[in-house]
Structure 1
Amino acid sequence: MFVMFRQVDLVSSDKGGGDTAAPVVSRDGRVPPETSPLERLLYRPVPLWLLLLVIVLGAGGLIAFGAVVDGWQKSGALGRAAIQTARLPDTIKRSFEGSAPYFRGQYPRLPAGFWRNPAQGLVDPGYALVSPYDPERGRSVVRLIRLSDGATLRDIVPDVDAANARSRFTSALTDVRRDKDAPRNRLMHPLLLSDGSIVVHDSSPLARYDPCGRLMWSLDGIFTHSTERGPDGTLWVPYRHPRPTEPGVRPTFWDDAVANVSPDGTLLSSVTVAAILERNGLGHLWRGRPYSDDPFHLNDIQPVMADGPHWRRGDVFLSLRNLSMVALYRPATGRILWWRVLPWRFQHDVTILDDHRISVFDNNVLMGYPREAVNGTNRLLVQDFAKGVTTSPYAEAFRRNAIATRAQGRGTPLPDGDAIVEETEQGRLLRVAPDGTVRWRYISADAQQRRFALAWARYLDSSTDGTAIQKAMTTPCV
């Protein structure tokens, strides 16, 4: 049996355009000899069995390709080629999207940069380390700002491509050269060290750069979210295994871990969140739910700097967003000393206020709704361990300023009662009083006042960070 083409008559026209019809094909499938070789090939009869064979082989090839992609880590060069082919649509899409992290929601149009409320008379003695997107450079930078007048003291432009060039891991989660190159790297939560250098990442290798942006060291892997320094000077950073260590999960599983790194870039320890929960009899908190590639979403590791009645120096607080859980963890013993799920929902940024209180930036998300909508506004909650109560002292400030970032977000209560708040997605950083009065604000935006997302700013105090600030300001670059 053959697939035959219907006979078509040649049609000529005296109105111009020449002979444009298909060649005549006889009822027995023959093409006249005067036709071109290409036309003869196109109109060649195709046996039905061959067509069916091609369809069957094609379907089998797609199934085999999917199997290789699903277990590409175990397939050597073939697996690497398969995953790169599977990523091709994403690569093409990203080439058209651009690198600027624009916020697509609604917001009041405000000028970019720093503004201080002249009616308040407050001269903030602190500094801010922010990493806004710079439209002139076409990439994010780390910017040191003096808050008394909003002056930019230094822009550090880290050579993230140098760190990515050293990277050797492969993962279904990210391709650092494609996804985290200089134009797309957001420079998450920069940490300023005493020599004026910074440590940053963006779901990419953890790297340290001098004040001129030159790479000092890099630690390969997927480091995410917060970067904090412990009492011994080591760094605590959430880590995500490029290839999951948890059995029976997909290659795209977010296998989060608590990582401790030396100031010279050596990985000192790493333990997965799954192992921590299992060891403490809490594995049911995620295993009892429907499968998710992102069951934990570790977004903050906050080290305890001094002993207190409820914790010890060297303990760490963990924020597990997708469990709406905050836990006090003792790395020395592997034990969870305290944990709580709710009242915060999809929270970020635990801050230790004194020897018995912590604050938690509560995204206050309606988790069962499409796009995880915020329930009105975010909240900055205070958990008092001595009294066993949770309060919301900045509720009016958040309401008056409509602070509502769906994802991420930062909040730092200050000793005088004010708070530094980052509305991450909307690109807004501000100091507010509990009654909602804005002392100053910083907006990340372009000349048309279109907002760029921020990437976890840090408030610096000259009494504790003075040496680092001075080095960052004065180190010459040649």
Structure 2
Amino acid sequence: MPRKGAGVTPAKTTNAPAAVTARGRFERLMDWPVPFRIVALLAIAALVILIWFSWMARYPSGHGRIGAVALELSDVPNTIQRVFKPDNAPVTTPQQKLPTGFRRNTRQPYVDKGHVLVSHYSAEAGRYVVRLMRLDDGRILHEYRPDAEEMIRRSKMKTALVDLPRDRNASRNRLLHPLLMADGGLILQHGSPLFRVDACGRVLWTIDGVFHHSLERGLDRDLWAAYTFPQPRERHVRRTFRDDAIAHVSEDGRMLGRTRIAEILDANGLGHLWRSRPYTDDPFHLNDVEPVRHDSAFWKRGDLFLSMRNLSLVMLYRPSTNRILWWRDRPFSFQHDINVLDDGRISIFDNHASAGAPGNTPLGPNRVLVYDFRTDRFEQPFARAMTREKIQTSWQGRATPLPDNGDMMVEETVGGRLLRIAPDGTVRWRYVAADAKGDRYMLGWSRYLGDTDAQGIARAQGARCE
């Protein structure tokens, strides 16, 4: 006889908690009642941690490694913004549609025998380029495509101010204020190491550091540039503090000296011009270092004119004695580009902007101010033309005095326009940097070339590059 229960499969018993699926556990967790006091305590703890984190990020030097980590984390939103919306995007804000390229005023007989280096984005190349342009007909004689990636590879710089591979690759390096050399090559920078290339764009040397804005020839085959220390030397500031300085370098790539703007102001009893203001990472914003090349009753050969945008300050400085000989902080605002006109006059490109307006919006057209040391007076000889042409760049901008006839080459940097303007207001020629749709490209501080640049022009034009 079969055993009792033979052929009958007994029912399996299960452990109820183990049978709960992952989905069921998650749903039960979401339905778990939390006492209000627990929520309130967590909120208070989060607030305390947030305040502590913000304090460490603001004053990292007093919190060791934890402060450094806090500062790194606090910069993540800025990093994301720079990746997806870079501050050096090639196309500028919407502008009036104008004919692209070079146009000479055919209604007047003047023909410009000079040349110009213009720097802006090229849609065809997919990167920033520098073009050598002849001004009698607008013909492009040579195009430079400097090897920005090689400049980055050579750099050993560590700084919170710029991420070179991300921000200064060929598609984002604006190749600012190109300086033509006798071999047909260029010296360049853009918030980056200073670097020299040959006529075919190959890197010859680099100098580490954050070079920016202007680059000018000195007196004895030397150069003067605006510079920011990669790591600030000022005490009790954040690592993103822009510790500006004037840099003295040689044509063969040697750093000859650096002098901090903060030290210059302090030594001359003018430290209060920035130390008495609320903290900012960019108190000076040095944008021009202009060497003086001849003696006069008001300056000596080798002196420097300096422009600091964020202080709306210009000054005459003597490096040999560390003395400020003269300074003014009005009637201009957020100005750029000082130039010596003669034995007693200088010109200043006045952005005429307001820090109280979004984006430092200009209060009206930009102005070219001419200051006369002999009379202590300012004039605006190009006012009618600046107003008629609606030249209104909110930041940057250039006004280069041209030889022989008192003309001025004006660059509306953000507007992508370059114009030669006569003293009577006539526009002799204009160049508009724009894409096929007419959207304008930001310019990169164009440089006028004259007779002294003939050798470099010839070498560049004759270069045979692959």
TM-score of the two chains, using structure 1 as the length reference: 0.86
Partner in structure 1 of residue 453 of structure 2: 465
Alpha-carbon deviations, 1:353-380, whole Å to 9, x = none?
A: 1222211111112343333221221111
Residues 348 and 369, structure 2, Cα contact 8 Å, conserved in 1: yes
Q: Give the CA deviation at 1:389.
A: 2.3
Superposed CA RMSD = 2.6
Q: Select the residue among 238, 260, 267 that pairs with 1:279.
A: 267
Distance 1:40 1:246, change over 3 A: same
Q: Give the CA deviation at 1:240.
A: 1.0
Q: Give the CA deviation at 1:321.
A: 1.3
Q: SS at the partner of 2:452?
A: helix
Q: Give the CA deviation at 1:170.
A: 2.8
- 1:15-414 equivalences under 5 Å are 34-44=19-29, 45=32, 66=54, 69-70=57-58, 85-97=73-85, 100-105=89-94, 107-414=95-402
Q: SS at the partner of 1:472?
A: helix
Residues 400 and 436, structure 1, Cα contact 8 Å, conserved in 2: no
Moved more, 89-98 or 176-185: 89-98
Q: SS at the partner of 1:131?
A: strand
Matched to 1:127, the amino acid is H
Matched to 2:413, the amino acid is T
Residues 90 and 120, structure 2, Cα contact 8 Å, conserved in 1: no
Alpha-carbon deviations, 1:63-106, whole Å to 9, x = none?
A: 6655664466898987776655544434443443376422214x
Q: Give the CA deviation at 1:469.
A: 1.0
Q: Give the CA deviation at 1:472.
A: 1.4
> Does 1:443 pair with 2:432?
yes
Partner in structure 1 of residue 407 of structure 2: 418
Q: Give the CA deviation at 1:184.
A: 1.0
Moved more, 159-168 or 298-307: 159-168
Matched to 2:408, the amino acid is A
Q: Give the CA deviation at 1:196.
A: 1.2
Residues 57 and 71, structure 2, Cα contact 8 Å, conserved in 1: yes
Moved more, 296-305 or 412-421: 412-421
Whole-angstrom CA distance in 1 between matches of 2:387 and 2:124? 34
Q: SS at the partner of 2:420?
A: strand
Alpha-carbon deviations, 1:224-261, whole Å to 9, x = none?
A: 10000101111111111222211122222221111111
Matched to 1:43, the amino acid is R
Structure 2: gaps spanning 5 or more residues = 1-14
Distance 1:91 1:373, change over 3 A: closer
Whole-angstrom CA distance in 2 between matches of 1:81 and 1:282? 35
Residues 31 and 43, structure 1, Cα contact 8 Å, conserved in 2: no
Whole-angstrom CA distance in 2 between matches of 1:76 and 1:264? 40
Residues 288 and 306, structure 2, Cα contact 8 Å, conserved in 1: yes
Whole-angstrom CA distance in 1 between matches of 2:213 and 2:383? 25
Whole-angstrom CA distance in 1 between matches of 2:297 and 2:179? 29
Whole-angstrom CA distance in 1 between matches of 2:89 and 2:461? 27
Moved more, 436-445 or 306-315: 306-315
Moved more, 166-175 or 248-257: 166-175
> How many residues in Structure 1 have an aligned counterpart in Structure 2?
447
Partner in structure 1 of residue 417 of structure 2: 428
Matched to 2:230, the amino acid is P
Q: Give the CA deviation at 1:293.
A: 2.1
Whole-angstrom CA distance in 1 between matches of 2:309 and 2:399? 15
Whole-angstrom CA distance in 2 between matches of 1:182 and 1:191? 18
Partner in structure 1 of residue 6 of structure 2: none
Residues 60 and 238, structure 2, Cα contact 8 Å, conserved in 1: no
Residues 259 and 271, structure 1, Cα contact 8 Å, conserved in 2: yes
Alpha-carbon deviations, 1:18-62, whole Å to 9, x = none?
A: xxxxxxxxxxxx986544234324524587698788767766665
Whole-angstrom CA distance in 2 between matches of 1:54 and 1:173? 36
Whole-angstrom CA distance in 2 between matches of 1:288 and 1:164? 38
Matched to 2:320, the amino acid is A
Q: Give the CA deviation at 1:126.
A: 0.5
Structure 1: gaps spanning 5 or more residues = 1-29
Whole-angstrom CA distance in 2 between matches of 1:161 and 1:88? 24
Whole-angstrom CA distance in 2 between matches of 1:386 and 1:84? 52
Percentage of identical aligned residues: 49
Distance 1:437 1:358, change over 3 A: same
Alpha-carbon deviations, 1:321-369, whole Å to 9, x = none?
A: 1222211111111111111121222111011112222111111123433
